[in-house]
């Protein structure tokens, strides 16, 4: 659901965009930290926020880190 948001920020499209690992952090909603394979040996780390159910808001890309590798540790950022 956040792929279009990442593509807009990066100014390019991704043929490959698959999550390979994730972690969660409970706040006033949930932060998802997701390692995404975007093709070749390239990965990105995404921070996606899901608000509380009663707020009825869509998933939002909070921030991301590009130029990651498969072996980079997925950490809170």
Tokens, residue 69: 């590798």
What's the rounded mean pLDDT across residues 29-37? 95
What's the rounded mean pLDDT across residues 29-43? 94
Q: What pLDDT score does 53 carry?
A: 85
Q: What pLDDT score does 77 carry?
A: 85
Tokens, residue 10: 């990066």
CA distance 47 to 60: 9
Given pLDDT bands bounded at 50, 70 and 90, which one contains residue 63? very high
Given pLDDT bands bounded at 50, 70 and 90, which one contains residue 16? very high
Strand partners, 22: 34
Alpha-carbon dihedral angle through residues 10, 73, 53, 29, given to the nearest 10 degrees: -100
**Domains of the chain and CATH, by start:** 2-69 (3.10.450.10)
CB contact at 8 A, 11 and 23: no
pLDDT(24) > 90: yes
């Amino acid at each position: 659901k956040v792929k279009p948001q990442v593509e807009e920020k990066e100014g390019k499209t991704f043929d490959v965009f698959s999550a390979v690992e994730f972690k969660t952090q409970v706040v006033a909603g949930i932060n998802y930290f997701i390692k995404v394979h975007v093709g070749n040996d390239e990965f990105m780390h995404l921070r996606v926020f899901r608000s509380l159910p009663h707020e009825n808001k869509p998933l939002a890309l909070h921030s991301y880190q590009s130029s990651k590798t498969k072996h980079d540790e997925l950490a809170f950022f």
